[in-house]
Structure 1
């Protein structure tokens, strides 16, 4: 299939046509031009990407313009993007000069040169109503017409980046807020991506951002095929809250889930992990608005993190990331500890009484010394 598309795309440029159909009457001429790595660019083409396969570890090709001047991988104008690997060149030309072009180098005769003039980024659309901390699975692919472009079209390491741009900018702010990157699309077969290098990129996006109006933008990032897809979205506040009950005397406690009216309470499923003060990791799962927890048998800090699954009133399945919480469980109070405040109170009373007694004794001593000094003074006056 890939070879058939390549030959069809080459026929476009050789026949000065925008239709991707084979011209059997010119088969011999096409073969000759294929072997000489010569192709013609129609005046109507505003941009063109050359996908060139070379012999392994060979040097990048040299691109010869219709006027005889040359472009090199290390020396070319800024309006040309050129990426080379050990056996491939991917060259994008903007507003290319019409006429015959040629690529010289160790181009493989089997594949040769593929020319593609129009790429489109296809992205699964987002729901109109999104939520803070919502987890989204998005699929994206680069297409030419009805064909998905995969690794056979030299698109290895293709990656796209998803970001949110705040549309409600404070006019008094000195600087506009920078876009917030919320996920990356990879075609590597890792995580949510099912098959590597199949041209279909999958990303898990977490809307960890303040509620508001945003521009959701997906942008290709290999610096060759510049394509973006944009959609204006509204992100609403987190539609549920979690609260942890205080453990009773036996250490029993639970999570209470409070859901907004937008969610169907009976559809709630909570999963997560509870980490005890002794670093024991306990998986937690439950349904509804009350989730039982294992008994809190030891005091200290408990760490919780999980996800919530629910259905909203529009019958859309929603997945939410629950931020990490730290819950402090105090040790149980014993009978002896209950008496300790009384002991502390008595000790404080005795201390205050002792201080007052010392002050009184000091005052009496000072008065007696003053009287003795006065008597000595009067006696000295009488003798004189």
Structure 2
């Protein structure tokens, strides 16, 4: 009787045992007949059924006896089939006892995830062509982050852009806008994703689109569960540009000149990271940041000197003046070449140097001749002037003497008495 009384006291707890095992809002089922109950308030549910590796997908039986198969099920059901596992998501499931029929692994249990929600970051009102933006999405269950690795590892969230068109319902199928896949989210702790397995999926979204208005859809691309989130965005022309100026010859550095559109970026917010890769695979990194009042930036790249094909790429950083948003732009691979110096080029250069040397020598000789001619002319002028002075002196003396003789004769004549 005591055992029977104890059993009667523990019976309610035994009924609740599967729920008590999982306090994170997941329900784990391990009954022998693989049955599980869906509450009438549940609007969405996902079943994770682990089975033998070589077995076929399970058959899911509704409370009314209708059967769902991996290859045949209604539109409100999504089915992901993998070796040893089925993940089945149902929108607005029928309340009551469900059953998974198949070779369910006895070492694993059927996990029921209810009220899964996909929360997606709100994209900025102003996107720029060619920018790269960190874009995140989160899966929650009953408002809490979902961290069930078996489920998260198989989710394939994609971002797709569509050209915005009003009144899509009235358009024929061939007139509907074509999807533009832009990226796939990841929860692996790589790239822009911060922590692996935290239920936060991140994508480095490259906005490689023509300016205009678009509809953005985030959805599960492999049928894990039925969720789609839509947004509308505007894409503007890029507010920043980068120009490459190759150095002359082999001694002058190359330049990457970065300039922002007037009034679009905050002064002093420009920064650049440029990578130059030689034909031998050697990478050189050059970085530069603008001063507080600068709206342009010049990054100097070392000249490789050796002849061959070079590649440069990088990242540009700036701050949007309108929204104070930090902007990232990826510069794709660009190429330039340094030509080999041929023997003909060297001969031509030597010939030009000889010609220039001859021209310089001729110019020096011409200047020397002009100076000599000027000196000779000056000497002639001086000599002529001296001769002229001498002549004038001699003439003056002769004239003076003649005048003196004349005066003497006239004086002598006046002094002779008349007879």
TM-score (norm 1): 0.68
Q: Give me the whole-angstrom Cα distance separating, in 2, the residues matched to 1:175 and 1:161.
A: 23
Cα distance in 2 between the residues matched to 1:165 and 1:339: 66
User: CA distance change for structure 1 residues 265 and 245 in 2, over 3 Å: closer, same or farther?
Assistant: farther
* 1:124-273 → structure 2 map (5 Å cutoff): 124-152=121-149, 154-167=151-164, 175-245=175-245, 247-248=247-248, 250-260=251-261, 261-273=263-275
Counterpart secondary structure, 2:14: helix
Deviation at 1:47, TM superposition (A): 4.2
Moved more, 92-101 or 207-216: 92-101
Could you say if the C-alpha distance between residues 338 and 301 of structure 1 is closer, same or farther in structure 2, counting changes exceeding 3 Å?
Answer: farther
- Would the aligned equivalents of 1:128 and 1:234 in 2 still touch at CA under 8 Å? yes
In the alignment, what sits opposite 2:317?
309
Q: Please tell me whether residue 319 in structure 1 is matched to residue 328 in structure 2.
A: yes
Query: What is the total number of aligned residue pairs between the two structures?
Result: 316
Deviation at 1:294, TM superposition (A): 1.2
Question: Quick one: distance in 2 between partners of 1:143 and 1:112?
Answer: 21
Does the CA contact (< 8 Å) of 1:160 and 1:184 recur in 2?
yes
- 1:62 to 1:183, Cα distance in 2 relative to 1, 3 A: closer
Report the alpha carbon displacement of residue 195 of structure 1 after superposing the two structures with TM.
4.1
Cα displacement string for residues 185-239 of structure 1 (whole angstroms, at most 9, x for unaligned residues): 1233443334444322121111111122112221112213121222211121111
**d(CA) in 2 for partners of 1:157, 1:279:** 37
Hey, what's the Cα distance between the residues in 2 that align with 1:104 and 1:44? 25
The answer to whether the Cα contact below 8 Å between 2:77 and 2:90 also exists between their aligned partners in 1 is yes
Matched, 1:116 2:113: yes
Question: In structure 2, do the counterparts of structure 1 residues 55 and 196 end up closer, same or farther at CA, with 3 Å as the change threshold?
Answer: farther
Secondary structure class of the residue paired with 2:268: helix
The worse-fitting range, judged by mean Cα deviation, of 141-150 and 55-64 is: 55-64
Query: Take 2:111 and 2:265, find their aligned partners in 1: how far apart are those partners?
Result: 51
CA drift of 1:181 comes to 1.5
| Partner residue in 1 for 2:301 | 293
Q: Is the 8 A contact 2:45 2:89 kept in 1?
A: yes
Q: Secondary structure at the match of 1:66?
A: coil
| Structure 1 gaps, min length 5 | 1-23, 341-384
- TM-score between the two structures when normalised by the length of structure 2: 0.63
What is aligned with 2:406? Answer: none
User: How far does residue 119 in structure 1 lie from its aligned partner after superposition?
Assistant: 2.0
Cα distance in 1, alignment partners of residues 190 and 264 from structure 2: 34
Q: Distance in 1 between matches of 2:354 and 2:210?
A: 49
Q: 1:73 to 1:303 in 2, by over 3 A?
A: closer
2:15 is equivalent to residue 29 of structure 1 = yes
Aligned with 1:125: secondary structure? coil
Distance 1:113 1:85 in 2: 15
Change (3 A) 1:62 1:220: closer
Cα separation, partners in 2 of 1:256 and 1:67, compared to 1, 3 Å: closer
For 1:286-314, what per-residue CA distance to the aligned partner results, in whole angstroms no more than 9, with x for missing partners?
A: 12212122136356654321110112223
Equivalent-residue separation in structure 2 for 1:149 and 1:143 (angstroms): 5
**Cα separation, partners in 2 of 1:338 and 1:208, compared to 1, 3 Å:** farther
2:88–2:225 CA contact under 8 A, matched in 1: no
Farther-moved stretch of structure 1 (121-130 vs 24-33): 24-33
Instruction: Tell me the equivalent position of 2:349.
Output: 334
Q: Which moved more, 1:102-111 or 1:216-225?
A: 102-111
- State the shift of 1:157 in Å: 1.9
Which protein shows a greater Rg?
A: 2
Does structure 1 residue 82 correspond to structure 2 residue 91?
A: no
Shift of 1:152: 4.3
Deviation for aligned residue 1:59: 5.1
Please give the secondary structure, in 2, of the residue aligned with 1:154. Answer: helix
**Structure 1 CA distance for aligned equivalents of residues 72 and 283 of structure 2:** 57
